[in-house]
Chain A
Amino acid sequence: MMAYIVRRTLYAIPILIGVNLLTFLLFFVVNSPDDMARMHLGAKRVTVEAIQQWKAERGYDRPLVINTSAEGMRRFTDTIFFDKSLRLFAFDFGQSDSGRNIGHDISQRMWPSLAIAVPVMLVGLLVNITFSLLLAFFRGTYLDFWGVVLCVTMMSISGLFYIIGGQVLLGKLLNLFPISGYDVGAHAWKFLVLPVIIGVVSSIGSGSRWYRTLFLEEINKDFVRSARAKGLSEQRVLLGHVLRNALIPILTGVVVVLPTLFMGSLLLESFFGVPGLGSYTIDAIERQDFAIVRAMVFLGAVLYILGLLMTDISYTIADPRVRLE
């Protein structure tokens, strides 16, 4: 397995270079270094000298990818792309264009993201699996029919509606939770309940339908029939056999997103005023802070690759027949 992990890690390097290059090109197609300088220096009384100074201080006064005025390797190394990208591979994110330490900011802001994302994922998983097992158990009955109708309805509703509706209903009309906000320490829980409820409820539709399909696929297989023939209760058949055998596709969906939980939820964080990494990325895009954008995209890519690797490894745990070679 170790050889497999090493090989996958090596594969990751060209992928990350590609992601980095793509981010770089997309960003600079839309924003020139002059635009970035103007954005950071403000709209009033900005002089050409100030723009040049800003660019020079941050290394944006160099060519983007190829330096035609340099010779040898410096044609590639004396460029914005090389200067800004190489350090990322050592996870040195450097400073944002406004001068803040990105690594420090990420380490601070990942906790609020996790505080919402982890409960949403765990509670959501529990609710979705329970609900879909119930639907699978009552398959073909009116409960199954109306359950699926409910799921499709919930899937069709925009995430934004859940957020605004949840804030209005539970926060404003019933006065049960703060509408938005966040705090650290012991007071944090009261700000987390509402976004977690909304996060879980909004995922029930699609999650339950997906898991129901997986369970129904397993429930008609021979080993389930054998289990029933042995006289096992339906409860044990569902939990001990159907659920266990449906774990691989569930793991595929769950483990791959585990590392990316750090990245936070853009919408939830924005509407609830949660200072997580989701809102960090959105803010950076709005402020044209390339240093943060590339750091977050790079981090996202690394975490996604890590998630895929973890998924592969988890297969071997869920199904002993799987071997990674």
Chain B
Amino acid sequence: MQTRTRRLWPCEVADKLPESRILFKIECISKYWFAFCLGLLLTGCGAPPWNNPYPASEAGDDVFYSSFSERPKHLDPARSYSSNEWAFISQVYEPPLQYHFLKRPYQLVPQTAARMPTLQLFDSEGRLLPEDADPSSVAISEYRISIRPGIRYQPHPAFARAPGGDFRYWPLGEQDLLNRFTLNDFAEVATRELTAHDYVYQIKRLALRSNHSPIAGLMGEHIEDFVAFGKEAGARQEIDLAEGRLWTDLRPIEMQGVKVLDRYTYSIRLKGMYPQFIYWLAMNFFAPMPWEAERFYAQPGMAERNITLNWYPVGTGPFMLSENNPNLRMVLARNPNYHAEAYPGEGSEQDRQAGLLEDAGKPMPFLDKAVYSLEKEAIPRWNKFLQGYYDNSGIASDSFDEAIQIGASGEARLTPDMRAKGIELDTAVETSVYYMGFNMRDPVVGGDRDDPQDRERARKLRQAIAIAIDWEEYISIFNNGRGEPAHGPIPPGIFGNQGGEAGINPVVYRWHKGRAERRALEEAKQLLSEAGYPDGIDPGTGTALVLYYDTALAGPGSKSMLQWYVKQFQKLGIQLVVRSTDYNRFQEKMLKGSAQIFSWGWNADYPDPENFLFLLYGPNSKIEHQGENAANFSHPEFDRLFDRMKNMPNGAERQALIDRMVGLLQQESPWLFGFFPKGFSLHHAWYRNARPHLMANNTLKYKRIDGELRARKQRDWNRPVLWPVIVLGVLLLISVIPAIRDFRARERSRAR
């Protein structure tokens, strides 16, 4: 008979040992534990950081790491219209034009275009007009755009062909789609050359209502035959859908306003004049779309698998979206078919000193990959930036004091801790305006349109409020000083904005000792008195004038800001009632015109004053035309000047018109101009060519990373600290000893 000895478990060994031996055993364990911990400590030295969220092998590579906080909704260039979406698709899609990376003021330059588009003007008889023709005589403006030959699309399965020449992945049946859930599941990819047809196809897509392009309405006003095409294409689409075809081929349907002239040239015909149209040619809406891609994605079963054009862009740009998991990360990889483009060589002396011209003439892009991780919360995002795992970062208000010091003269600079890490700060006044608006259709703040006296009363009331609301204080309290008080609707950096004394709002400020100084509250009270509200008393009720502020801000986070507004009005004796609601109700109120005072903002589409002044153009009012004129301001003189100004080239004459318009707005005060936000962004020393560009979104190709420096810094900053863990372990171990003693004593005690 064979006997087997069983190896005892440690606890069983302990049971068989006297107490003194248990302590000895614990000592032995402690020795091993100590050796283990020492080993861990040694492992921590020189080894890749443990907290590195990326593969260690990538640390020194040309990979850019950043984050995003909100998942993009649309990646279809016909539909996408948010900065968080354009941050991705602008690296993939290439409209014919782009903004020069370094030149200021912002300047358009060709991207895929061979040269800047040519413009020809025609009268109603089709006769060619001179360039400086009177805008009223212009019936048609024709832009002719030539693109560079030899540009190729990124590798994509839509272009792949079988040996016989047929498309490899069209048509696909349900069987062909088995086990295919992402674009990467289509093994064969190919490319083809970019042609003018692709640009024309995309413009046609803008007109098709089912594509929900946000600019369809605007383009319908300008591009010839755009609306009619949309109707015809929509009808064709309905027939196709009824007959089971999920894709409508837009190629055979003609649009008079868009024509292919040859393989590399196309034209766009606009009704009348619209000089700002050229800026649209630098936006993704006008990027090329290969029809094969649209047809590929429209196949049955693709949408059910979430393989759509809205999810997988296809372009000619420097990068392609190699991983699209917006719930986790989005990865842009270098497009192997990218055409030659060199880093710009022209820039200012300041750019040269900042090292922004060091890469002049070098082929772009400099990066192999860009990894954007989803970070919804500001705290982990900030901490990972400090650890060196994000190459750049914004500054949340929670981290502002840790990052920025405001000097005695108000200038922002980095804290010593940030400087010690080699972090650099970029600041730029954004091409945005944040304002408080009056609903001009409201009888109290807007006045009776048919009664000049009442209009004057309301104007003085608005002017008094404009003086009383201290935006400098607002910026300091709620924006950490990140903003500039606005004197008009046009932000700095955009033609029409006047700095210095010429640009101040004389209703609210006076020029004193070389700076704008807010007028005294007494002047506001005087205006209020002239408006018929002495000390803020409404003569109709004999009590304080009550005004209503409609806002989508609610909750404890906004309370201090809303109280601040109330306090500002109280300075005049006016009682401000805050009507907080959700954003939906707020929008509804704005559409119906039932709000009285509100706050809103606007971010520039393009760097032209028209894009800001149109926010106060009468025919653009929200109530009547569902436009962007939320104040419903209507002033014949302003509208007349706007009609003239919008078609003029930048120059002294246009500036004079803009000055008159802005002066008129300052006097009428339909807005309290609020402020222009100032963007603060940080980047590490290894992140190069980090000049902020407020109009361009396709700037990833200019960026360069010093991977070696990053890897070194990441190692230095992230050495694992193990001693607290070891101390905790030892403490736990020690604390167990009395428990074990007590346990064993109980086990051995007699029953009582």
Residues of A within 8 A of B (CB): 30-32, 34-35, 38-42, 44-50, 53-54, 57, 95, 98-101, 104-105, 109, 134, 137-138, 141, 143, 164, 167-168, 171-183, 187, 190-191, 228-229, 233-235, 270-273, 275, 279-280, 283, 287-288
Contact = CB atoms under 8 A, between A and B. Distances in A.
B328 A275 contact: yes
A104 B311 CA distance: 14
A47 B217 contact: yes
B328 A176 contact: no
Contact of B217 (A35, A45, A273): A45
Contacts of A180: 53, 375, 377, 380, 384
What are the 7 A-B residue pairs with the smallest beta carbon separation, nearest first?
A: A275-B327, A35-B584, A178-B53, A181-B53, A180-B380, A275-B328, A47-B217
A170 B305 CA distance: 39
A179 B383 contact: yes
Contacts of B386: 172
B719 interface: yes
Interface stretch (B142-150, B207-215, B701-709): B207-215
B373 interface: yes
A57 B210 contact: yes
Contact of B51 (A49, A138, A176, A283): A176
Contacts of B103: none
Given A138-B742, A275-B328, 20 more contacts: A32-B584, A38-B584, A41-B212, A45-B214, A47-B216, A53-B209, A138-B739, A164-B379, A172-B386, A174-B721, A175-B718, A175-B720, A176-B722, A178-B389, A179-B384, A180-B375, A233-B747, A275-B325, A275-B374, A288-B584
A41 B80 CA distance: 9
A229 B50 contact: no
Given A48-B626, A53-B210, A174-B725, A273 B584 contact: no
Contacts of B743: 137, 234
Contacts of B52: 178
A101 B311 CA distance: 12
B161 to A, nearest CB: 29
Given A38-B587, A270-B377, A273-B328, A104 B214 contact: no
A296 B311 CA distance: 22
Among B50, B210, B720, the one with the most A-chain Cβ atoms within 10 Å of its Cβ is B50
A78 to B, nearest CB: 20
Interface of A is mostly: helix
B731 interface: no
Contact of B383 (A134, A168, A176, A279): A168
Interface in B265-311: 303-306, 308, 310-311
A273 B376 contact: yes
A101 B214 contact: no
Contacts of A176: 50-51, 720-722, 725
Contacts of B74: 98
B214 A46 contact: yes
A101 B305 contact: yes
A39 B584 CA distance: 8
Interface in B48-79: 49-53, 55, 71, 73-74
Contacts of A53: 209-210, 212
A84 to B, nearest CB: 18
A234 B745 CA distance: 11
A125 B55 CA distance: 33
Contacts of A168: 379, 383
Nearest to A228: B751
A104 B304 contact: yes
Among A44, A143, A181, A182, the one with the most B-chain Cβ atoms within 10 Å of its Cβ is A181
29 contacts: A31-B584, A35-B587, A46-B214, A47-B217, A47-B626, A49-B217, A50-B214, A95-B303, A100-B306, A101-B306, A109-B327, A134-B739, A171-B383, A172-B383, A173-B721, A174-B725, A175-B387, A176-B721, A176-B725, A178-B51, A178-B52, A179-B51, A180-B53, A181-B53, A271-B379, A273-B376, A275-B327, A280-B327, A288-B584
Among A30, A143, A174, A180, the one with the most B-chain Cβ atoms within 10 Å of its Cβ is A180
Nearest to B67: A273
Nearest to A235: B747
B50 A175 contact: yes
B556 to A, nearest CB: 15
A45 B215 contact: yes
Contact of A174 (B71, B181, B210, B724): B724
Contacts of B584: 30-32, 35, 38-39, 288
A247 to B, nearest CB: 23
Contact of A273 (B304, B308, B380, B725): B380
A34 B587 CA distance: 10
Contacts of A49: 209, 217
A104 B306 contact: yes
B212 A50 contact: yes
B628 interface: yes
Interface of B: 49-53, 55, 71, 73-74, 81-82, 181, 209-210, 212, 214-218, 303-306, 308, 310-311, 325, 327-328, 373-377, 379-380, 383-384, 386-387, 389, 582, 584, 587-588, 626, 628, 718-722, 724-725, 739, 742-743, 746-747, 751
A311 B718 CA distance: 46
A227 to B, nearest CB: 11
Contacts of B73: 40, 98, 287
Contact of B719 (A101, A105, A175): A175
Given A175-B720, A180-B375, A104 B181 contact: yes
B742 to A, nearest CB: 7
A178 B742 CA distance: 40
Contacts of A179: 51, 53, 380, 383-384, 387
Among A31, A138, A172, A288, the one with the most B-chain Cβ atoms within 10 Å of its Cβ is A172
Contacts of A275: 325, 327-328, 374
Nearest to A54: B212
A139 to B, nearest CB: 11
A42 B84 CA distance: 12
A173 B723 CA distance: 12
B630 to A, nearest CB: 11
Nearest to A103: B304
Contacts of A101: 303-306
A172 B387 contact: yes
Nearest to A46: B214
Contacts of B49: 175
A175 B714 CA distance: 11
Contacts of A54: 212
Contacts of B303: 95, 99, 101
A228 B387 CA distance: 57
Given A45-B215, A50-B212, A172-B387, A181 B721 contact: no
A42 B82 contact: yes
Among A141, A176, A287, the one with the most B-chain Cβ atoms within 10 Å of its Cβ is A176
Among B51, B375, B383, B384, the one with the most A-chain Cβ atoms within 10 Å of its Cβ is B51
Contacts of B721: 173-176
A109 B587 CA distance: 33
Contact of A45 (B305, B628, B719): B628
A105 B327 CA distance: 10
A129 B624 CA distance: 67
Contacts of B181: 104
B712 to A, nearest CB: 16
B736 to A, nearest CB: 10
B380 A105 contact: no
A235 B359 CA distance: 73
Given A271-B380, A273-B380, A177 B50 contact: yes
A229 B81 CA distance: 78
Contacts of A99: 303, 308, 310
Among A109, A137, A182, the one with the most B-chain Cβ atoms within 10 Å of its Cβ is A182
Nearest to B720: A175
Among B49, B74, B328, the one with the most A-chain Cβ atoms within 10 Å of its Cβ is B328
A271 B212 contact: no
